Structure 1
């Protein structure tokens, strides 16, 4: 069984990288949860509008700019994932420090590239 990934910043728009990432994660057999601005469904995954704090999340892949990440800081740290992937455009040194202090791995990378090169 694979470890669950939370796509934070999920979009219903098919041209958005978060939408593509959900499809690729599902295709690669990963269990996925998704949180975005609007409820909906992508690749059979329901997009919720709030973080479910009782989920067992291994990885969070971010698709939110640093300003939009701020309201999620506490919820993300509470989830205590093994790692957070900061995709291009989401880099946030302020948040890196908080995560490192919480002993959560910070990875500045592209989820799509990691999946395509079998490094996910």
Structure 2
């Protein structure tokens, strides 16, 4: 597996972009873990309702608006990911500064587009 990814803000709703992202990640054989407000499964991936000390996270892809990201700043930084992707609607200059201080790369991009165009 490559680029183990944590989907933050994962949804069981098949109409949500986070749900599409999980399906696309799994479809491309990218190891995927997920955190959301409701437990359940999407494409075989368990959505966790509580924060887990995931290991070897390469990418965190955000589907939380900036206000909802704040409680997770320390958690995400503590995972020491190689990058954080800010999907449309999740842009957060305050968090960019914190990530930059920690040497964590970030992208303002759409994970679905990156996956579809082999740029992930």
TM range (shorter): over 0.9
Q: Distance in 1 between matches of 2:40 and 2:33?
A: 12
Shift of 1:2: 1.1
> Which has the higher mean CA deviation after the structures are superposed, 44-53 or 57-66?
44-53
Q: Distance in 1 between matches of 2:57 and 2:51?
A: 11
Structure 1 outlier segments of 4+, above 6 Å: none
For 2:64, the equivalent position in structure 1 comes to 64
Q: Distance in 1 between matches of 2:110 and 2:54?
A: 26
Paired residues, what number? 120
In structure 2, stretches of 5+ residues that fail to align are none
For 1:83, the equivalent position in structure 2 comes to 83
In structure 1, stretches of 5+ residues that fail to align are none
Matched, 1:49 2:82: no
RMSD across aligned C-alpha pairs, in angstroms? 0.7
The TM-score, its normalising length taken from structure 2, stands at 0.98
